[in-house]
């Protein structure tokens, strides 16, 4: 029997009947799929109707009424008890752990208080309580701390906002970092609310509105987790016109002869670096692979069959399964130990650079005590200025080098080399003045000792080093 004869034997109604049956099944399957997505949608949406959110709504709870899952997770950034080997959200005291930093910041408020960042929930409390803020500060310091900021800027103008004394808004700016900083209330799309990042892109000849969705998942963070300075005393500016690398940023500051303070020990004009997290991340392998800040710090989370973005922004080491294991097939302990090994190397390179830098400051002070002039010390001071900025670029960045291990060790190596070169210059200078003995370096083994020495230099009665 061939197929031709088999076909010809089927009754005429079979064709149309099969067609109807198939159509029926397809329609039923379609309805089922629709009902499933519908249900999923319903569970994703809160039972309550979505309330419209005002354009600059600063209150996280108001947004939370519409998006309870994201809000509940966001509220967990209040927890300040978590610890990892180098990070976590407890207010680790850097000066207590590492007294060298008291000396490195001599003459500047960071030598009085310097603690590890806590979660976003605490941003307003922390900025109003730190000893680093004084009557001299402008509202520029509010910029990265509150959802109230974009509203104030819209009302009074950006430059006017920055130039208002900080104290004027104490008690008026109250809402910590939150929904409004990253989201458009109408669409919930990610958006840029801080002008400095937009302006920095423009200065590089780029349009931030052309950024891809994946880039936005890092750029929302880059609104705050970047290096900046106050142009003309208060205008928040990112020094990126020449590029994001540490060399380009140093060249940018040098061209402006920019200085944050004169070092109390060596009288060097120092530039303070502020957490260049986005800049260093950009130099790392994950940025190269298109992995965004949010991929690791805001991974997806599933609750009751619903997948959403975890708004508990924190150390990814506290959530390795969701943050890393989605891409890496290594076990959790293996991942943790790889991260800690990277961080330990960077931390050691950092301490090594600090040891040379601290000595370089004292060497210059010793040369001053031996009568060296500013002119004679100019070259050494310039080296120390650059060495300290390089060290601080890595030191002030969060994550202890994980975001770009090779770049961080490279920068720290350059820092130590420059500080060493400065020490050589000073040693020759001292030798020319007939002094061949090493300066008498003070004991800096505890924070209290370091503070005593720092105070002596700050009050103009420096410890005798010769």
What mask, x for binding ligand HEC by CB under 6 A, covers residues 3 to 42?
----------------------------------------
Residues 220-259 that bind ligand HEC (CB under 6 A): 220-225
Contact pick of 151, 152, 191, 217 for ligand HEC (by CB under 6 A): 217
Residue nearest to ligand HEC (CB): 87
Task: Provide, rounded to whole angstroms, the least separation between the CB of residue 446 and ligand HEC.
Answer: 25
Q: Give the separation between CA 308 and CA 73, rounded to whole angstroms.
A: 11
Cβ closest to ligand HEC, residue 221 vs residue 366: 221
Q: Give the separation between CA 339 and CA 251, rounded to whole angstroms.
A: 32
| Residues that contact ligand HEC, how many (by CB under 6 A) | 72
Angle at 10 between CA 4 and CA 13, to 5 degrees: 135
Task: Provide, rounded to whole angstroms, the least separation between the CB of residue 171 and ligand HEC.
Answer: 17
Cβ closest to ligand HEC, residue 275 vs residue 386: 275
Cβ closest to ligand HEC, residue 63 vs residue 362: 63
Cβ closest to ligand HEC, residue 333 vs residue 448: 333
Task: Provide, rounded to whole angstroms, the least separation between the CB of residue 201 and ligand HEC.
Answer: 15
Q: Which stretch binds ligand HEC (CB under 6 A): 49-57, 240-248, 265-273, 281-289?
A: 281-289
Residues 155-214 that bind ligand HEC (CB under 6 A): 177-179, 181-183, 188, 190
Cβ closest to ligand HEC, residue 151 vs residue 297: 297
Provide the CB-side half-sphere exposure for 17 (13 A, CA): 5
Task: Provide, rounded to whole angstroms, the least separation between the CB of residue 126 and ligand HEC.
Answer: 3
Q: Give the separation between CA 310 and CA 318, rounded to whole angstroms.
A: 13
Q: Is residue 264 within 8 Å of 451, Cβ to Cβ?
A: no
Task: Provide, rounded to whole angstroms, the least separation between the CB of residue 366 and ligand HEC.
Answer: 37
Task: Provide, rounded to whole angstroms, the least separation between the CB of residue 108 and ligand HEC.
Answer: 19
Q: How far apart are the first and last CA of the chain?
A: 113
Closest CA to 90 of 98, 102, 78: 78
Residues 50-109 that bind ligand HEC (CB under 6 A): 60, 63-64, 67, 70-71, 74, 84, 86-89
What mask, x for binding ligand HEC by CB under 6 A, covers residues 359 to 388?
------------------------------
Task: Provide, rounded to whole angstroms, the least separation between the CB of residue 308 and ligand HEC.
Answer: 3
Cβ closest to ligand HEC, residue 279 vs residue 354: 279
Report long-range pairs for 307-313 (Cβ below 8 Å, ≥24 apart): 308/44, 308/69, 308/70, 309/70, 310/73, 311/70, 311/71, 311/73, 311/74, 312/73, 312/74, 312/76, 312/77, 313/74, 313/77, 313/119, 313/120
The count of other CB atoms within 10 Å of the CB of residue 90 is: 15
Cβ closest to ligand HEC, residue 99 vs residue 185: 185
Q: Which stretch binds ligand HEC (CB under 6 A): 1-9, 95-103, 104-112, 313-321?
A: 313-321
Residues 113-142 that bind ligand HEC (CB under 6 A): 117-120, 122-123, 126
Cβ closest to ligand HEC, residue 71 vs residue 362: 71
Contact pick of 313, 349, 384, 411 for ligand HEC (by CB under 6 A): 313
Is 152 a binding residue for ligand HEC by CB under 6 A? The answer is: no
Query: What b/e readout covers 95-134, taking b as 16+ CB neighbours within 10 angstroms?
Result: beebbbbbbbbbbbbbbeebebbbbbbbbbebbbeeebbe
Give the burial class of 197: count Cβ atoms within 10 A of its Cβ; 0-12 exposed, 13-18 middle, 19 or more buried.
Answer: buried
Q: Give the separation between CA 317 and CA 296, rounded to whole angstroms.
A: 9
Closest CA to 107 of 231, 224, 266, 239: 266
Task: Provide, rounded to whole angstroms, the least separation between the CB of residue 402 and ligand HEC.
Answer: 4
Residues 384-443 that bind ligand HEC (CB under 6 A): 398-400, 402-403, 405
Give the burial class of 78: count Cβ atoms within 10 A of its Cβ; 0-12 exposed, 13-18 middle, 19 or more buried.
Answer: middle
Closest CA to 44 of 309, 244, 242: 309
Residue 346, both tokens: 């960077």
Cβ closest to ligand HEC, residue 167 vs residue 274: 274
CA pseudo-torsion sign 45, 47, 51, 53: negative
Task: Provide, rounded to whole angstroms, the least separation between the CB of residue 66 and ligand HEC.
Answer: 7
């Amino acid at each position: 029997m061939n197929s031709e004869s088999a076909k010809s034997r089927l009754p005429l109604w079979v064709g149309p009947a099969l067609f109807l049956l198939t159509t029926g099944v397809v329609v039923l399957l379609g309805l089922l799929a629709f009902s499933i997505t519908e249900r999923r949608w319903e569970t994703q949406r809160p039972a309550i109707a979505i309330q419209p959110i005002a354009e600059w709504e600063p209150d996280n709870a108001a947004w939370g009424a519409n998006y309870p899952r994201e809000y509940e997770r966001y509220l967990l950034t209040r927890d300040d008890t978590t610890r990892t080997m180098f990070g976590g959200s407890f207010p680790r005291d850097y000066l207590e752990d590492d007294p060298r930093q008291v000396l490195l910041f001599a003459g500047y408020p960071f030598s009085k208080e310097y603690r590890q960042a806590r979660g976003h929930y605490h941003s307003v409390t922390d900025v109003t309580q730190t000893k680093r803020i004084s009557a001299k500060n402008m509202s520029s310091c509010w910029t990265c701390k509150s959802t109230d900021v974009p509203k104030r800027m819209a009302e009074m103008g950006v430059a006017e906002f920055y130039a208002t004394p900080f104290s004027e808004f104490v008690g008026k700016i109250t809402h910590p970092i939150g929904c409004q900083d990253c989201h458009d209330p109408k669409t919930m799309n990610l958006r840029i609310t801080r002008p400095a990042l937009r302006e920095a892109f423009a200065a590089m000849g780029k349009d931030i509105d052309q950024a891809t969705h994946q880039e936005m998942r890092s750029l929302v963070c880059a609104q705050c987790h970047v290096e900046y300075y106050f142009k003309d005393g208060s205008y928040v500016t990112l020094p990126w016109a020449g590029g994001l690398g540490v060399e380009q940023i140093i060249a940018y500051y040098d061209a402006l002869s920019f200085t944050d303070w004169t070092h109390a020990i060596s009288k060097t004009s120092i530039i303070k670096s502020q957490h260049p997290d986005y800049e260093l991340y950009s130099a790392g392998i994950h940025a190269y692979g298109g992995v965004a800040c949010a991929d690791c710090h805001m991974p997806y989370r599933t609750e009751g069959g619903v997948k959403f973005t975890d708004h508990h922004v924190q150390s990814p080491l506290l959530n390795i399964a969701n943050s890393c294991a989605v891409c890496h097939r290594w076990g959790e302990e293996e991942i943790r130990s790889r991260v800690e090994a990277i961080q330990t190397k960077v931390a050691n390179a950092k301490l090594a650079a600090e040891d040379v830098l601290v000595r370089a400051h004292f060497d210059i002070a010793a040369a001053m005590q031996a009568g060296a002039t500013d002119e004679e010390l100019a070259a050494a001071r310039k080296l120390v200025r650059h060495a300290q900025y390089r060290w601080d670029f890595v030191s002030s960045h969060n994550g202890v080098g994980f975001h770009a291990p090779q770049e961080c060790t490279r920068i720290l190596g350059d820092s130590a080399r420059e500080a060493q070169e400065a020490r050589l210059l000073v040693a020759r200078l001292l030798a020319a003045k007939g002094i061949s003995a090493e300066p008498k370096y003070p004991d800096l083994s505890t924070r209290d000792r370091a503070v005593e020495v720092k105070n002596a230099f700050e009050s103009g009665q420096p410890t005798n080093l010769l």
